Structures are given as C-alpha cells and as structure tokens.
Structure 1
Amino acid sequence: MSVWDSLVGQRPTITALSRAVAGDGMTHAWLFTGPPGSGRSNAAIAFAAALQCSDGGLGPGCPDACHACHTVLAGSHADVAVIRTQKLSIGVDEVRDLVRRASLSPMGDRWQVLIVEDADRLTEQACNALLKAIEEPNGRTLWMLCAPTVEDVLPTIRSRCRLVTLSTPTTAEVAEFLVAKGVGPSLATYAARASQGHIGRARALAFDEAVRTRRQEVVALPARLTNLGRCMDAATRLASTAKEEADAITAELDAKEKADLDASYGVVERGRRPREYGPALAALEKAQRTRAKRRHLDVVDRGLTDLVSVYRDAIAVATGAPGALVNEEIRDQVQKLVDTSTPELNLRRIGAIFAAREQMLEFNVPVALALESMMVSLKIPQG
C-alpha cells in the first residue's frame, strides 16, 4: 500500500513525483494536466501526502495508519489546502484567501501545500492574484494547479510551473483496478470500456446499478431518432433525467449547509432569525443555485460523451478499425447506424454534439434548447 494506489495507469507520473519527494527536481509550483477522469487532482493530493509523510508515502503504515498521509487524503491536514469549486468559475476572493495563507510558514516542519483544482476556471482577476504569489514564493510553500491541458492556463503562470502530464488509463488498467476493489471481471470490463478511462465514472458504473441504467438509456437513443417527435422526446428526457440526477446529488449537501447556517445563527435555539441571517441565507441559496446549474451541466455533458461514443463506434465498424467497441453490448444498434448512415454523416453528428456542448457550457444556451437542436441533427434519415 502507498499514497499512489489511487492513480491508475500513471507509472511515469508516480516515478517523477516520487523522485521529487526524494529531493530530485523539487520546485515551488506544479501544473498537473490530463483528460477528465485521469486523476490529476488525485495525483496532486497524493503528492502532497507523500511530501508531508516522513516515509514519502511508502512506509509500512501508509496511507491508512500514517497520520500525515491519512489527514492529507482525508482533507484535514493543517498544512494542505485545496480549492475545489462547485461554481462555474473560481473568483479572485477565493484565490486571495489562498495567497494570504501562502505568505505564512507551515505549522509543521515540512511543506505548506496549496492545491487549485479546476485551475482552468480561474477568472482573469484570480489569475493575476495567483501569478504574483507564484512569482514570489515562500520558501516552504508549494503550489499545485490542476487543469485539463496546458493551454487552459495562462502562459505567464504555466511557464513558472513544472508540468506533470497524466494519460488516459487503458481499459485493461481500469478493469484491473476495479477487480482489485472487489468488482467481478465481467462488470469491471464493461465499466472500464464504458467509462473510456474516466476512473470516477468507472467506479460509479461498477458500483451503482442506477448509473448503469441511465447510461444504457442514453446510448440507446441514437437508434431511436427516426422522426422529429422522437428527437424532441429524447431531448426532453435527457434534460429532465440529468436534472433529476443532479438534484439528487446536491439535495443532501444543500440540506446540510442550510442546517449548518441555522445552527451558526442560533435559529433553532432562539426560535427566531437575527437580522444578519437573511443576507447570509440569500448568499447561500445563490451559491447553491450556481452549484446546481454546474452539476446539471456536468451530468448532461457526461451523457453527451456517451452519445459521442456510439457514433465513434459506428465509424469504427464502418471503416474496419480494429479493437473492441466502447459499446460492445449494443453492437446490433451500432450496426443499425452503420447501415443507415455514412462515416461522414456520423462525423457531422459528433460535431453537432460538440456544438451543443459548447452552446451550453460557453454561451449559456438553455439546456433544453441546445439538446433539441442537437437531437434533430442526429435524426436517422428515412427512405
């Protein structure tokens, strides 16, 4: 066991970070990049744990029985702070709080580590505040930024960071990881293929039957889009089921935050609301609405990724590409797309899916409207 066990298929990254922990190539700022689900945030946190551990995260008790490793991985270590936003962007105020912390010495005798997940969501003002802190580092402070690609981070920031690039794990590596977690081989292989190397998604598919059912409904859509009515119905169903899933995810957290707010203002004990409670409640509800919107978009985006995989499979079959399909279990439906379409048409359909994604994520087009337009573009031609 070690702090690196959560990283799947990332042996070169583990080797490089282990060397840095041992003192070879240490620097004050790191940029972790990799496709969604590759584990870039996990890599940063594991690196932080190894740096705080006297055994470099490789001791006989690491990570569970090691206090340093355990507290870092649990998010409770005094010298490790993580910014992870549920909003659409990370603002300057959040970064300034982290910058103020960066000016302090670590409470322990090792490192103060500041991790920014989703660094690609930093606003321009936040980037400027972060740049100054990285340019003038405290001797015992380390910055770790996580983003999908180097292009998602300002050149002035990334030029001051050491780059760590993670790759998409192979199907075999993900399946092996799931089997080690107690998943049966057949289900592990399915989850590994369907997740397309996304570790978090693979876990969900392996352990949650409802997640598998929702995915099966999504990948079955392309073969059903035979007329305009079915296209409209598919768009409505995808939008509504995504919202239901997102609401289910956020409901428990929303309730806990509301209860914590009530407790902090003594609402239950006093039986009344103090004057300051109203603005605080309004701010909380605004933050929760923003988080719910992002979560909804995240769930829709995942569905679009699954749709793309079906059309990619159809192109693979039509062109005789070797290897297993992502959606091997619906090969007959994939064949229907092959029989009724051309590879060029399926490429245009993939383009329509990406266009809908951009409309929702970049231009704030309502989800239902973007999905309706997309589904019409995916319709199977008749005759």
Structure 2
Amino acid sequence: MVWDTLVGQRRAVEALRSAAAGHGMSQAFLFTGPPGSGRSNAAVAFAAALECEEQPPGCGTCHSCHTVLAGSHADVTVVRTDRLSIGVDEVRDLVRRSALAPMGRRWQVMIVEDADRLTDQAANALLKAIEEPTDRTVWMLCAPTVEDLLPTIRSRCRMVTLTTPSVDEVAEFLSRADDIAPALASYCARASQGHIGRARALARDEGARNRRKEVVSIPSRLTSLIACMNAAQNLVETTQEEADAITGELDTRERGDLDASYGVVERGRRPREYAPALAALERAQRTRAKRRHLDVVDRGLMDLVSVYRDAIVLATSPGQPLVNEEIRHDVEQVVRGASAELNLRRIGWIFDAREQMLDFNVPVPLALESLMVALKAPSR
C-alpha cells in the first residue's frame, strides 16, 4: 500500500483514504507537521492514491502507483527547492503547467514541498491558481505549520495535520522496512527524535552515527573558552564536509550535463551562450551549497538540544527515558554543572543561534562561536 511509509499517522491516512475514494475531496490540500513527520511522503502517497487504477485506491503496485512513487508519473509534478526560497518565476511556470489537462484519465497533481519558502510574490501568484483551479487539478502544499503560509492560501486548503511518530513506531518501521537490527533501530529512533528520514540515514550510515556522537559530546566538554572555540570550529568543519559530500557529486554531474548540452566536450570549444549558462549554474550551486550547509548545521543544533532536554528530564523526572541514553554519564555531568532553569535557557540560546543563521544571515562560524561561549559551563 502507498500508505506504508506514513509512520504513526493513522488519522491522517484515514482522512486521505476517504478523500481518494471521493469523500471530502478538495482542489487544494495543506500538509503540516513537524520536521520528519512525513509531510512530503504523505502528499506523494495521496497523489499515488488519486492516480491509482485499482479499488480501493492506493494499492501501491499498479503502474500508476509505481510511477508516482518513483517520481516519473506524467500527471504528478513535485516542486522541491535547494535554494533558500521559491521565487515567483518558478511558481508562474508551475501555474501554467497546472492549467494543462492531465495526460491520463484522472488528476493533474501539483505538489509544492517547502511551501513555507515561497516569497511574497510567489505566494500571491500561487493564490490565484488555488482560487481558480481547473476541474481536474489538485494542489498539495507542504509546510511545518499553517502560520507559514498566507491566511488567504491556507483558508482555501483542506488541512492534513501530521504528528511526530513515537520512538517505538519509528523503530518498528526501520526493522520492517529496512531490516535494521532491533538494537540499532531503537538507537536511531531515539536519536532522530521521531524524524523518519534522519532515523533511516543514521541506520544506514555509520559515519552519520559517528558525527552525531561527536556533536552530543560537546556539552560536557565546554569547560573553557578555548574548548568553546575548538568545539565551534570542529562543528563548522564537520558540517561543511558533510554538506560538501552531499552536493559535490551533484555539482559535478550538473556541470557535465551542461558541457554535454552545449557540445563543449565534442567540439573542444565553448560557444558564446555557454558562459552565461555556466555562470547561472554556478550561482544556483552556491545557493544550494549554502542551504545544505545550513541544513546540516541545523540538524547538529537539534542534536545539542536533545542533550539539554535530557539534562532537564534527568533533573526533574529521573525515571523518564532519555534521547541520549548511551551517554547518560555525560548528561549527568551537565546536570551537576547547571540547574534545570539554566539548561532551559541554553535551549533558548540554541534556537536564537538557529534564527540568526537561517533568518538573519549571520555567518555560521560567528554564530556557533557565540553559541558555544554562551553554553559554557559556569565557573565554580
């Protein structure tokens, strides 16, 4: 079934199944939920059910389901961005495509991931299309919260709210879907804090697990100013290396495709139109690399939050399970060195650093250095 990847989302699945069967169908849907809850997966699964050739819809095995899930269905368009925002030109092109009749017999489905990244102009262009959709077009927008979109857009969408799955649900999914050993599945489920994609990445990549272990060990080591500066520098370097590894192969492939399309390899020379195309590609790649680095840093900061969250839990409710059970000794050290109130303020400082980097474009090294100094253990 196409719903199998939606972990811990029983109520949402029931609503989507009913809509796909024709009960409560709408021309626009807004999928909201915390990171890792599966907003995009839910939208794609719903699109597959809408295009499904079988009854009840959403079999997961017919040709339409298979092509939607593989990302190759002619009538399902998924817009995802590697940039910091989605611009008006991209949305206008999407609106023009949405007005076309579907090639098949069912729906023209337009999925916008990261709809919260729409610029004001792009959001206004999208609003007009949602207000006046064609009879066989369905819009699906994905965002963390309803407040991330214009009120005029969200008022015209049917809401589909997803929740963070439990640790047990994520661990069971890893064991069932990816054949992960129970002990490793349990660790990855806890470490990801219910983020399905992060849990699968940790389960499949020992390097990712080692990088996380390095990050969660930081709080217990922030005992001096030099330790703070070293921790910030190490975090900058490791996150940059991880981001470069992710984008490097894609950059090389895109450059090769560009060279091939302009005949650079075969002709041994560059036509006049090649230079501006190359400049545009390099600008896009730099933007993507910046966002990727910010995403990796952001993930590391959430791992830091989990340590201070554990310290608060250990200080106030000792019997509760910890996210970082495997470093309980380090967490106990953090508890001994600060009150629960201070650790709560530390979590606030981490979120302030995230805002500085993501919203105010503060350089990553500067933001992390300031953060690590703020997190330093109090002098005795």
Query: In which range does the TM-score fall when normalised by the shorter chain?
Result: over 0.9
Q: The residue matched to 2:30 in structure 1 has which SS?
A: strand
Shift of 1:56: 5.3
8 Å CA contact retained: 2:17, 2:57: no
Retained in 1: the 8 A contact 2:21–2:57?
A: no
Change (3 A) 1:153 1:249: same
User: Which ranges of structure 2 fall in alignment gaps of 5 or more residues?
Assistant: none
Match for residue 33 of structure 1?
A: 32
User: After alignment, is 345-354 or 29-38 more displaced?
Assistant: 345-354
Q: Could you give the per-residue CA deviations for residues 82-110 of structure 1, whole angstroms, max 9, x where no partner exists?
A: 11000000000110011001111111110
> Is the Cα–Cα contact under 8 Å of residues 96 and 129 in structure 1 kept in the other structure?
yes
One-letter amino acid matched to 1:110: R
- 2:220 equivalent in structure 1: 223
* 1:85 maps onto 2:81 in alignment: yes
What residue identity is the alignment partner of 1:284? L
For 1:141, which of 137, 144, 168 is the aligned residue? 137
Partner of 1:142: helix, strand, or coil? strand
Partners of 2:86 and 2:122 within 8 A in 1: yes
Q: Distance in 2 between matches of 1:150 and 1:118?
A: 12
Q: Given the alignment, which residue of 287, 306, 331 partners 2:284?
A: 287
Q: Give unpaired runs (5+ residues) of structure 1.
A: none
SS in 1 for 2:8: coil
From 145, 152, 164, the equivalent of 2:148 is 152
Q: Is 1:248 matched with 2:245?
A: yes
Please tell me whether residue 211 in structure 1 is matched to residue 231 in structure 2.
Answer: no
CA distance in 2, matches of 1:14, 1:320: 34
CA RMSD across the alignment: 1.0
Structure 1 distance, partners of 2:237, 2:55, is 47
Q: CA deviation at 1:323?
A: 2.4
1:33–1:164: 8 Å Cα contact kept in structure 2?
yes
Q: 1:165 aligns with which of 161, 165, 183?
A: 161
C-alpha distance in 1 between matches for 2:214 and 2:55: 45
**Match in the other structure for 2:298:** 301
Cα separation, 2, equivalents of 1:44 and 1:232: 43
Q: Normalising by the residue count of structure 2, what TM-score does the alignment of the two structures yield?
A: 0.98
Match of 2:45 in 1: 46
CA contact (8 A) 2:21 2:56 kept: no
1:142 aligned partner, one-letter code = V
Residue 381 (structure 1) shift = 1.4
Normalised by the length of structure 1, the TM-score is: 0.98
Paired position in structure 2 for 1:8: 7
How far, CA to CA, are the matches of 1:191 and 1:102 in structure 2? 39
Deviation at residue 40 of structure 1 after TM alignment: 0.4
How many angstroms apart in 1 are the aligned matches of 2:305 and 2:128? 41
| Distance in structure 1 (CA, Å) of the matches to 2:320 and 2:188 | 17
* Preserved contact between residue 30 and residue 141 of structure 2 (Cα < 8 Å): yes
Percent of aligned pairs with the same amino acid: 73
1:323 maps to amino acid: Q
String of CA shifts for 1:293-342, please: whole Å, max 9, x gaps: 00000000000000000000000011125421000000000000111110
Alignment CA distance shift 1:297-1:358 (3 Å): same
Q: Give the letter aligned to residue 359 of structure 1.
A: Q
Amino acid at match of 2:293: H
1:361 aligns with: 358
- Number of residues paired by the alignment? 379
Q: Determine if the alignment matches structure 1 residue 273 to structure 2 residue 270.
A: yes
